[in-house]
Amino acid sequence: MIREIKAEKIKDTVKRLLLQANYEIGTDVLRELGLSLKREESATGKSVLQQIIDNHRIARQDRIAMCQDTGMVVLFVSLGQEAIITGGDFTEAVNQGVKEAYTEGYLRKSVVEDPLFGRKNTGDNTPAVIHLELVPGDRIKIQVMAKGFGSENMSRGKMLLPSAGVQGVTDFVIETVQKAGPNPCPPLVIGVGIGGTLDMAARLAKISLLREIGCPNGDIHYAALEKELKERVNELGIGPAGLGGRITALAVNVEYYPTHIAGLPVVVNINCHAARHAAAEI
Amino acid sequence: MDKTKRIQTPLTVQQAVGLKVGDNVLISGVIYTARDAAHRRLAELLKEGKPLPIELEDQVLYYVGPAPAPPGHACGAAGPTTSTRMDIYTPPLIEKGLRGMIGKGLRSQAVIEAMKKHGAVYFAATGGAAALISKSIKKVEVVAYEDLGTEAIHRMYVEDFPCIVVIDSYGNNLYESGPQRYRTCKTL
Ligand code: SF4
């Protein structure tokens, strides 16, 4: 049986999710910020964490953006292979949803139409970056993310040699966070993609940022790696806002995929405490 | 916690040299906004020896591109952007009398040297605390480069704008000393 999904409905969903993501921080982030406030030893670090918690509360109450960099929109769409989209073009519907959210929701427009020549602002924060995946079923799952560039700019990838192993991956993650210092607005959510190809590792790193904080990877080896990486990152002492302290990472999430016998791709995608994402199924 | 210092702009050299790294500061008065594009234009004017659209003497620049103001708000979300991108344009501005900068993130050695030489201060506002910060901004008006939209130079009237002295006029840097105090692993 084929199920019909109207393009209009997709547009409305994207718009609603983006407003929600920009105004309301996830309860998982808030919970982790609260725990961090208890654990932080630095007085400056504590006051920064308190400001962040207050900030997210104000944004939710007043329905204003929690951060002025309302990001570039990234979508992960899982389309059921028994669903059919009618009444319009899918990509246009998504971008119309972005446009309406950013213009009607008083969100900043931060996208330029050409990365190299002219860099003219598109004026409505379109286009979104869309990742589409076909899955069984007749529904469509849409996950949106508003990705700020203070943290995106501090992200890095590397094609390691297979012999580099766990040590190589760990060193690369630590080095990336150390280099980033205060720039990506710590405390951070750190996404790590390992395996696949260059592009797949980057995609996995981004997907891992959508995972609920406090939920480890389902595989025990990767769950242990996540724990180890979080401890190591917090030993750097960068602290809230980079001013020194115990809490640099709220979470380190790792995702992996099979890879080639000759390779070990790894990408570290950094997200700030304004870790904005939301999801819905139609 | 250190006690909070209240300061009023314009920021004189005497006030600036009295501020120490780690001080919590609440700023009131007029500050100006400028990001990458505005800095590029200011730098070009200076190079050509032309007058600037704002007087920099004893002023404070805030590196920000605010979100649009919703009805009933003086300003939309307005947290700091990464200062590093402004570094190449900054030393000549400090020479022209720029006294304070508000942003987030590291500064180049050239900027720090200029700050030491001329007595300027670098404040950090909490990155991503944009909704909270916007509450301390009471009025905003465009003063130059309206065509740049959010990147235009705005005059902001602020009351008790919260920030921390991260690099003082002596070159003491909390981005170095803070993390050092809490680092428990050896550096890479
Ligand atoms: S890194 Fe995140 S919190 Fe910081 S300014 Fe950018 S979007 Fe906002």
CB atoms within 10 A of CB A136: 9
- For every residue of chain B, DSSP letters joined together read -PPEEEEESS--HHHHHT--TT-EEEEEEEEEE--HHHHHHHHHHHHTTPPPSS--TT-EEE---PPPPPTT-SS---PPPBGGGGGGGHHHHHHTT--EEEEBS---HHHHHHHHHHT-EEEEPPTT-HHHHHTTEEEEEEEE-GGGGGGSEEEEEEEEEEEEEEE-TT--BHHHHHHHHH--S---
Asked whether residue B188 is domain-assigned, the answer is no
CB atoms within 10 A of CB A42: 21
pLDDT, position B1: 46
> Would you tell me which CATH number, out of the four given (3.30.70, 1.10.10, 3.30.1330, 2.60.40), belongs to the domain A150-276?
3.30.1330
Asked whether residue B104 is domain-assigned, the answer is yes
Q: How many domains does chain B have?
A: 1
What residues does each domain of chain A span?
3-22+66-147, 150-276
pLDDT 10s digits, B159-183: 999 999 999 999 999 999 999 999 9
For ligand 1, the distance from its centroid to the CA atom of residue B105, given in whole angstroms, is: 11
pLDDT, position A217: 97
Asked whether residue B187 is domain-assigned, the answer is no
Asked whether residue B46 is domain-assigned, the answer is yes
pLDDT 10s digits, B55-98: 999 999 999 999 999 999 999 999 999 999 999 999 999 999 99
Residues (pLDDT < 50) of chain A are none
For ligand 1, the distance from its centroid to the CA atom of residue A143, given in whole angstroms, is: 20
Residues ≥6 apart with Cβ < 8 Å to B47: none
What ipTM score was computed for the predicted complex, to two decimals? 0.90
CB B12 within 8 A of CB B97: no
Ligand 1 atom closest to Cα of B82?
5
CATH code, domain with B10: 3.20.130.10
In this predicted structure, the answer to whether residue B23 has a pLDDT above a threshold of 50 is yes
For ligand 1, the distance from its centroid to the CA atom of residue A151, given in whole angstroms, is: 6
CATH code for the structural domain at A3-22+66-147: 3.30.360
In this predicted structure, the answer to whether residue B2 has a pLDDT above a threshold of 80 is no
This prediction has a pTM of 0.93
Nearest beta carbon to residue A108 from set B67, B70, B174: B67
Closest to A276 (Cα-Cα) out of A161, A185, A201: A185
pLDDT 10s digits, A27-51: 999 999 999 999 999 999 999 999 9
Rounded-to-integer distance, Cα A273 and Cα A21, Å: 13
Strand partners, A74: A129, A145
CB atoms within 10 A of CB B118: 17
pLDDT, position B139: 95
- State which residues form the domain around B93: 4-182
Is residue B82 within 8 angstroms of chain A, CB to CB? yes
The two domains A3-22+66-147 and A150-276 share their CATH topology (first three levels equal): no
Tell me whether residues A243 and B174 touch, CB distance under 8 A: yes
How many angstroms separate the most distant Cα atoms in chain A?
A: 60
Where are any strands of DSSP class E within chain A? Answer: 3-6, 72-80, 83-86, 129-135, 140-147, 156-160, 188-196, 249-259, 264-271, 276-281
Token couple for A124: 């409505």
- The nearest CA of chain B is from the CA of A130 a distance in Å of 24
């003497």: which residue's tokens?
B57
Average the pLDDT over B94-123 and give the result: 96
Instruction: Give burial (CB, 10 Å; 0-12/13-18/19+) of A92.
Output: middle
